[in-house]
C-alpha cells in the first residue's frame, strides 16, 4: 500500500497546483524548504512545470502522477516540486532555457531533474506512461536518472553547474547603443515580416499558427506612419482569417490559444485572458484604421466574452478556460450535422466528414451570412444547445500583467465603440489591482478570491499594469491611475534595471534563482522589457517627463538587433519604436465634446488622447478646443472637426 503523503498543495493559490493536491506523488511547492529536504536526503529534485489549462499537463498527470506505482518510485528517489508557470514565470523561464538548450525544443508539461542546489542536469517535456518510439516512459526516465545519481552524483552535479554557466554566457540579451531604432530599421522589419506572411491564409510561418498580436500592432503602426499597403494587407488577411476560422469561437466570442493547422480551422481549445485582451485591442485598431465592420464586431464580441466567461466576483479576470471538458479536448465546442441542422451546418461549415475527431466539426464562418437575422437566430440556438454541455474548467487566479492588458483593452474599446459598460469593467478591474495586488508599493503576481498570493510581480506585471492604468487615465481622466502608474514605473526602473539600459525580468530583491532571467523577446505576451518601454513612453507623453522618455528610448534601443533580424519576436518593441518616431502625439481635448471622437480615432502610433478629468495635459489650457503637441512643441489649437481630422489623419471626419 502506498504510504500517505502530506498534502502540501492544499493551501496553494494556484488552481493548477490544487489540481494536483490529491496525487499520490509527494509534491512540494517551490521554495527553500523543498531543496533543503533534497539536501538532507541526498536525492535530486524532480521539477514539474505546467498550467491549469494545459491539455498535455492533464494527460501526464492522469497517466503518471495519479499512478500509485510511479508515485511510490518518485517519492522514494526524488523530492518533487510542482510549479504553475503562470504564477512563477521566473522559475519557468530559467528551466525552459535549460530544456530548450538540452533538447532543442520546449513546452509544457516541462519535466526537469535538478541537483539539490537547483541546477538542472536533465530536462524534457511530456513523457508517456509506457515506452514509445523515440520517447521513453516517465518511469524509465526516473529510473535512469536515479541510477545515474546513485553511481555518478558528482558528474551530474558538475554537469548541472556547467549548464547554468553556459546559459549565463550564451543567453545574455544583445546590446546596442541607445537610440538605435530608426525609420530604416522599422521599414526593414516590416519587409522581413512580409516574407514570413502566409498571403493565402494569413499568419506567419506554418502550422501551428499563433495569433501574432504584437506583430500585428507593429504593422498597424507602421502603416499609419508610412502608408505601406503591404503592412495593412498582412493585418487584414490575418485578422479576417482568424475571425472566420475555428480559432475564433463563432458562438460566444473569444479566441483559442492557437491553430493546430495553417488554415485556422482546428484550434488548441484553451482560451487565455492574455490572447483575448491583446486581440480585442488589435481588432479595435484595425477598425480604427479602416472602419471594417468585421473588426468592430470581433472587438466587441471578444470584450463581451471576457466579461461573460472570465470576470471574477471581485472584478478581475480569470486566467483561462481549459481546453478539455469531461476529459476530452474540444468536446464542448464541436458539432455534427445532425446536432446543428442543415441551415446551421451550411452557415458554420459543419460537414459529415468533420474537421475534428470522430466526424465532428469546429464551427467556422467563412463568409458573411446573406441573411443576418437567420444567422443571429441560428447562432443563438446553437449557443443555447452548447450551454447544456459540461463547460471547460476555469483557472480563476487573477494574474496582474494579464489583467493590466484587459484594463487597456476594455477601456479603449469602451471609449471608441461607445460601450460605457466596458469602461466600467476596466475601472473595477483596475481598482482590484490597486487594492489587492499592490502591497507596500510593490506588485504581487497573482490573487485568488480577492487575496493576494505570495509570488512577487515580475517585469511584465509592472509594464502591463502601468499600460492598463495609463490607458484608463486617458479614458476617464482620473489622476490616481496616472499617479499609480508612475509609481509602478519608478519601482521597475529602480529594481529591474540591468545598468546597461535593459531590464531583468525579476527584481534585484526577488528570490535568487540559479540565474536571473532576462528575455527581451516577445512570447505569447509582450516581453516585460517591451511592455515597460511602452508604458514609460506613454507616461512621458502624459506627464511631460523627459526622464521616462529617455528610459523608453534606451530600452528599445537595446533590442534593436532583434527588431532588425527577428521581428516576429520583437513586435511590441518595434511598435514602441514606431511611437518614438511619431513623437508620440499628445492630444488634449479641453471641454470640446464634439471633437473628442475625432481625436480618439487617430492612428498616429502611440498617441495619447485626454478628453477630460484631472490630467496634466489639460492643465492651464483654455476650453473649447483641441491642442495637438509633439516633443514639447504644440500646434495652434483648433475648434474645427475637419481641420482636426486632417491634422490627425482621420478620414471618416473629413
The answer on 285 and 409 residing in a single domain is: yes
Q: In what order do the strands lie in the sheet with 320-321?
A: 271-272, 320-321, 394-395
CA atoms of 133 and 122, how far apart (whole Å): 20
Encode pLDDT of 238-254 as tens digits.
Answer: 999 999 999 999 999 99
**Between helices 528-543 and 459-476, what is the axis angle to 10°?**
30
Most confident of 3-17, 146-160, 535-549: 535-549
Is residue 227 scored above 90 in pLDDT? yes
The parent domain of residue 37 ranges over 15-170
Task: Convert the pLDDT of each residue in 159-171 to its tens digit.
Answer: 878 877 887 766 5
**Residues 545-559: tens digit of each pLDDT:** 999 999 999 999 999
Q: For residue 458, which of 391, 526, 559 has the smallest C-alpha distance? A: 526
Q: 85: closest CA among 163, 128, 30?
A: 30
Q: Do 190 and 59 share a structural domain?
A: no
- 93-107 pLDDT, tens digit per residue, is 999 988 888 888 888
Please indicate, yes or no, whether residues 419 and 531 belong to a single structural domain of this protein: yes
**Domain boundary at 114, 136, 170, which?**
170
Q: Are residues 213 and 147 in the same domain?
A: no
Residue 177: is its pLDDT beyond 60?
no
187 lies in some domain: yes
Would you say 344 and 350 are in contact if contact means Cβ atoms under 8 Å apart? yes
Split at pLDDT 50, 70, 90, the class of 59 is confident
Based on the domain organization, do 589 and 574 belong to the same domain?
A: no
Mean pLDDT computed over 68-94:
93
Structurally, the chain folds into a number of domains equal to 4
Once rounded to an integer, what is the mean pLDDT over residues 366-388? 96
Sheet of 446-448, strand order: 398-399, 446-448, 451-452
Whether residue 118 is found in the same domain as residue 257: no
Residue 1 falls inside a structural domain: no
Nearest C-alpha neighbor of 534 from the set 588, 483, 582:
582
Which residue in this structure is represented by grid cell 465532428? 360
Rounded average pLDDT over 44-57 = 89
| 181, pLDDT greater than 70 | yes
Residue 338 has pLDDT above 70, yes or no: yes
pLDDT average, residue stretch 508-512:
94
pLDDT at site 169 = 67
Same structural domain, 303 and 417: yes
Q: Would you say residue 131 lies in a domain?
A: yes
Check whether 1 has a pLDDT greater than 50: no
Do 496 and 539 belong together in one domain?
Answer: yes
Give me the residue label for grid cell 538605435: 180
| DSSP calls for 452-498 | E-SSBP-HHHHHHHHHHHHHHHHHH--HHHHHHHHHHHHHHHHHHB-
279 with 428, same domain: the answer is yes
Q: What CATH number does the domain containing 85 carry? A: 3.40.30.10
Residue from 585, 463, 605, 483 nearest 535 by CA: 463
Tell me the three cell numbers of residue 352: 459529415
**What are the φ/ψ torsions at residue 439 (nearest 5 degrees)?**
-120, 115
Q: How far is CA 361 from the centre of its chain?
A: 28
Mean pLDDT of the chain: 93
Q: Which of 388, 404, 431 is the last residue in one of the domains?
A: 388
| 287 and 420 part of one domain | yes
User: Would you place residue 176 in the very low, low, confident or very high pLDDT band (cuts 50, 70, 90)?
Assistant: very low
- Which three cell numbers, joined as nine digits, stand for 504? 531583468
Question: pLDDT for 561-589, tens place per residue?
Answer: 999 999 999 999 999 999 999 999 999 99
Q: Let me know if residue 5 belongs to a domain.
A: no
Instruction: Express each pLDDT in 390-425 by its tens digit.
Output: 999 999 999 999 999 999 999 999 999 999 999 999
Read off the pLDDT of each residue in 516-545 and give the average, rounded to a whole number: 96
Amino acid at each position: 500500500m502506498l504510504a500517505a503523503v502530506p498534502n502540501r498543495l492544499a493551501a496553494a493559490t494556484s488552481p493548477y497546483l490544487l489540481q494536483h493536491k490529491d496525487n499520490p506523488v509527494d509534491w512540494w511547492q517551490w521554495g527553500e524548504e523543498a531543496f533543503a529536504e533534497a539536501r538532507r536526503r541526498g536525492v535530486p529534485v524532480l521539477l514539474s512545470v505546467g498550467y491549469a489549462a494545459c491539455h498535455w499537463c492533464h494527460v501526464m498527470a492522469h497517466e503518471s502522477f495519479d499512478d500509485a506505482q510511479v508515485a511510490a518510485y518518485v517519492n522514494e528517489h526524488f523530492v518533487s516540486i510542482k510549479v504553475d508557470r503562470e504564477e512563477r514565470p521566473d522559475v519557468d523561464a530559467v528551466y525552459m532555457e535549460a530544456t530548450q538548450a538540452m533538447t532543442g525544443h520546449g513546452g509544457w508539461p516541462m519535466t526537469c531533474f535538478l541537483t539539490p542546489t537547483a541546477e538542472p542536469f536533465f530536462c524534457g517535456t511530456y513523457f508517456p506512461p509506457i515506452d514509445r518510439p523515440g520517447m521513453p516512459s516517465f518511469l524509465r526516465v526516473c529510473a535512469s536518472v536515479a541510477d545515474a545519481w546513485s553511481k555518478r552524483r558528482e558528474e551530474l552535479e558538475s554537469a548541472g553547474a556547467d549548464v547554468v554557466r553556459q546559459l549565463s554566457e550564451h543567453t545574455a540579451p544583445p546590446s546596442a547603443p541607445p537610440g538605435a531604432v530608426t525609420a530604416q530599421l522599422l521599414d526593414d522589419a516590416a519587409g522581413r515580416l512580409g516574407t514570413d506572411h502566409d498571403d493565402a491564409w494569413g499568419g506567419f510561418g506554418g502550422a501551428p499558427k499563433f495569433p501574432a498580436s504584437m506583430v500585428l500592432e507593429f504593422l498597424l503602426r507602421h502603416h499609419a506612419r508610412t502608408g505601406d499597403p503591404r503592412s495593412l494587407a498582412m493585418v487584414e488577411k490575418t485578422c479576417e482569417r482568424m475571425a472566420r476560422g475555428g480559432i475564433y469561437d463563432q458562438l460566444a466570442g473569444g479566441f483559442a490559444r492557437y491553430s493546430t493547422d495553417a488554415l485556422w480551422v482546428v484550434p488548441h481549445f484553451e482560451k487565455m485572458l492574455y490572447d483575448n485582451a491583446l486581440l480585442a485591442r488589435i481588432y479595435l485598431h484595425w477598425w480604427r484604421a479602416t472602419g471594417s465592420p468585421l473588426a468592430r464586431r470581433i472587438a466587441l464580441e471578444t470584450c463581451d466574452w471576457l466579461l461573460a466567461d472570465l470576470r471574477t466576483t471581485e472584478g478581475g479576470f480569470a486566467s483561462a478556460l481549459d481546453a478539455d471538458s469531461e476529459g476530452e479536448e474540444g468536446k464542448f465546442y464541436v458539432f455534427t450535422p445532425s446536432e446543428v441542422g442543415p441551415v446551421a451546418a451550411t452557415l458554420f461549415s459543419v460537414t459529415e466528414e468533420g474537421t475534428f475527431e470522430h466526424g465532428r466539426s469546429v464551427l467556422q464562418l467563412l463568409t458573411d451570412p446573406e441573411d443576418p437575422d437567420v444567422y443571429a437566430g441560428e447562432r443563438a440556438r446553437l449557443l443555447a444547445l452548447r450551454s447544456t454541455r459540461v463547460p471547460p474548467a476555469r483557472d480563476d487566479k487573477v494574474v496582474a500583467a494579464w489583467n493590466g492588458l484587459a484594463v487597456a483593452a476594455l477601456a479603449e474599446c469602451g471609449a471608441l465603440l461607445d460601450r460605457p459598460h466596458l469602461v466600467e469593467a476596466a475601472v473595477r478591474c483596475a481598482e482590484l489591482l490597486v487594492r489587492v495586488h499592490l502591497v507596500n508599493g510593490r506588485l504581487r503576481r497573482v490573487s485568488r478570491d480577492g487575496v493576494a498570493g505570495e509570488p512577487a510581480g515580475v517585469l511584465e506585471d509592472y509594464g502591463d499594469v502601468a499600460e492598463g492604468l495609463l490607458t484608463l487615465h486617458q479614458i476617464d481622466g482620473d489622476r490616481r491611475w496616472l499617479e499609480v502608474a508612475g509609481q509602478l514605473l519608478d519601482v521597475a526602473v529602480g529594481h529591474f534595471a540591468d545598468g546597461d539600459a535593459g531590464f531583468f525580468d525579476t527584481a534585484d530583491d526577488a528570490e535568487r534563482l540559479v540565474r536571473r532571467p532576462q528575455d527581451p523577446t516577445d512570447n505569447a505576451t509582450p516581453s516585460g522589457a517591451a511592455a515597460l518601454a511602452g508604458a514609460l513612453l506613454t507616461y512621458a507623453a502624459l506627464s511631460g517627463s523627459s526622464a521616462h522618455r529617455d528610459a523608453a528610448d534606451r530600452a528599445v534601443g537595446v533590442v534593436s538587433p532583434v527588431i532588425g533580424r527577428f521581428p516576429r519576436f520583437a513586435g511590441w518593441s518595434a511598435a514602441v519604436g514606431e511611437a518614438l518616431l511619431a513623437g508620440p502625439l499628445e492630444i488634449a481635448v479641453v471641454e470640446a465634446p464634439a471633437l473628442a471622437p475625432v481625436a480618439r480615432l487617430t492612428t498616429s502610433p502611440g498617441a495619447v488622447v485626454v478628453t477630460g478629468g484631472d490630467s496634466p495635459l489639460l492643465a492651464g489650457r483654455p476650453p473649447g478646443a483641441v491642442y495637438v503637441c509633439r516633443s514639447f512643441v504644440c500646434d495652434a489649437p483648433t475648434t474645427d472637426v475637419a481641420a482636426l481630422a486632417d491634422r490627425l489623419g482621420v478620414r471618416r471626419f473629413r
